[in-house]
Amino acid sequence: MAASPQSPPKVATAQPGATFDRLRRHLSRGVALAAESMGNGAVEAFAAGASITLSDRRTALDFGSYSVALLGHRHPGVVEAVHRQLATMPTSTRALANPVTAEAAATLVDYFGGALPKVHFGLNGSDAVEAAVKLARLATGRDRVLAVRGGYHGTSLGALALTHHPGLRAGLRGCVSQTVHLDPFEPAAVMDEIARGPVAALVFEPVQGENGAFPLPTDVLHRWALDARAHGAFVIADEIQSGLRRCGERSVALAEGLPVDAVLTGGPLGGGVMPLSAVVCTEVLYRPLGADPLLHTSTFGGHPLSCAALPAALDAIEGLADHGRSLADGLANGLRGLHDLHPRMLSGFRGRGLLWSIGFTAPHMAGEVIVRLADAGLLVSPCLSDPRSVRLLPPLTTTHAELDQALGILDSALTDVARRGTF
């Protein structure tokens, strides 16, 4: 990692040794070991924009963070909005109406064009998935849910049933008894399952983040959505990773004209400052919750401090949308060039917007490259469902100079691995 020209004041307060010791004793030895290796014994201490400063004063570009840091770190507009709310009423009585939560819901509905008029707030992606599937099953009186091979929807028990990752369900018998995972290249898959019995919902990611940034075939999704709706099943687009301009559009599903009953959003919805997720859906899907508001609740759902971040985050995202498209073009071109330079190591690359992956010809190489990139000053994300791939998730706030720097670091890391002959 490169040396930071100026040391932010937060750096002096970091205590790496104590941090790793506490992780080992109170959290996870595996997490401690991996983090210590990634940071060469240093810990994260300060963040601004696309840059992380470590406790030893080195810096790294953050092209990881699992899609959360779409606006980078500490976006000033979002931080200011949260500070204002913190100074007035950071939490809610839950007995009285809170205008911040109501404004956030109205803002989100308008952001998606008004066709999905109802909102349920959570704190993370699994919250949104659990709520949407629960509503679909209650509204239809059916149990079966269709998901997609390679998809990732969270690891809480309900969301895990939709996640196509057998390793994450080890020891959890019966977890997927009411879920069927479809082949994304089979247009008739939904009709085939409907012929076997009633279906409550079809749930899919337009771009599968954990599956190596794989964009699902749009023509197949159209066919599936029409077939599902024609037989009374709800269509739910999980855009927790791919939405909010990460893949170029506010909603990939809505932009593609898919007839969806809900869009799930999260990650950057709180501007990378506060945890926040949401189900944005039709009146019909929301009807069970409308009839009984206590049917699905969470203590911090609609938390005012998180909801205060939402309008500021969406304003900032829209202000950077054109820049994001330019960055996306530069990233795609850069990855194409790297693939040409390293054909023996790279099996390919794929993605959309600012959600891309590079695939390696050998599975062990992904982990090796991730560590080498971190050491050189570039943080990226692994792919849980595709261990041969590494994800690149640059923030919208990334400059073209930072993008060039990141591509240069990636080129150097690939060259170093090739020189060592570890593929």
Domain assignments of the chain as residue spans, ordered by start: 2-31+45-71+320-420, 76-319
Residue 117 binned pLDDT confidence (cut-offs 50, 70, 90): very high
Planar angle of CA 158, 164, 167, nearest 5 degrees: 90
The answer to whether residues 327 and 394 touch, using CB atoms and an 8 Å cutoff, is yes
> What 3-state DSSP class applies to 215?
strand
Q: Which CATH architecture has domain 76-319?
A: 3-Layer(aba) Sandwich (3.40)
CATH for 2-31+45-71+320-420 is 3.90.1150.10
Residues 283-312 have pLDDT tens digits of 999 999 999 999 999 999 999 999 999 999
Residues 177-213 have pLDDT tens digits of 799 999 999 999 999 999 999 999 999 999 999 999 9
Residue 4 binned pLDDT confidence (cut-offs 50, 70, 90): very low
pLDDT above 90 covers a percentage of the chain that reads 89
Residue 423 binned pLDDT confidence (cut-offs 50, 70, 90): low
Please tell me the number of Cα atoms within 13 Å of 188 on its side-chain side. 3
Spatial distance between the Cα atoms of 271 and 284, rounded to a whole number of angstroms: 29
Beta strands in 149-245 (DSSP E): 179-182, 201-204, 207-208, 214-215, 234-238
Considering the chain, what is the average pLDDT of its residues?
A: 94
Q: How would you label 235-246 residue by residue, b for 16+ Cβ within 10 Å and e otherwise?
A: bbbbbbbbbbbb
Q: What's the mean pLDDT in 161-172?
A: 88
Spatial distance between the Cα atoms of 106 and 108, rounded to a whole number of angstroms: 5
Res 277 pLDDT > 60: yes
The answer to whether residues 321 and 159 touch, using CB atoms and an 8 Å cutoff, is no
Residues 255-268 have pLDDT tens digits of 999 999 999 999 99
Which amino acid, residue 387? P
Residues 330-339 have pLDDT tens digits of 999 999 999 9
Beta bridge partners of 58: 3
Those residues whose C-beta lies under 8 Å from the C-beta of residue 386, and which sit 6 or more positions away, are 150, 210, 211, 212, 214, 357, 359
Beta strands in 12-134 (DSSP E): 44-48, 51-54, 58-62, 118-122
Scanning the structure block, which residue is given the tokens 């979002």? Answer: 78
At residue 14, the pLDDT reads 65
Those residues whose C-beta lies under 8 Å from the C-beta of residue 240, and which sit 6 or more positions away, are 67, 125, 128, 129, 205, 264, 265, 266, 267, 277
Q: What's the mean pLDDT in 356-373?
A: 93
Planar angle of CA 385, 388, 391, nearest 5 degrees: 70
DSSP designation for 217? P
Q: What's the mean pLDDT in 110-133?
A: 97
Q: How many CB atoms lie within 10 A of CB 7?
A: 13
User: What is the DSSP pairing of strand 262-265 with strand 277-281?
Assistant: antiparallel
Spatial distance between the Cα atoms of 331 and 337, rounded to a whole number of angstroms: 10
Residue 11 binned pLDDT confidence (cut-offs 50, 70, 90): low
Res 2 pLDDT > 60: no
At residue 286, the pLDDT reads 98
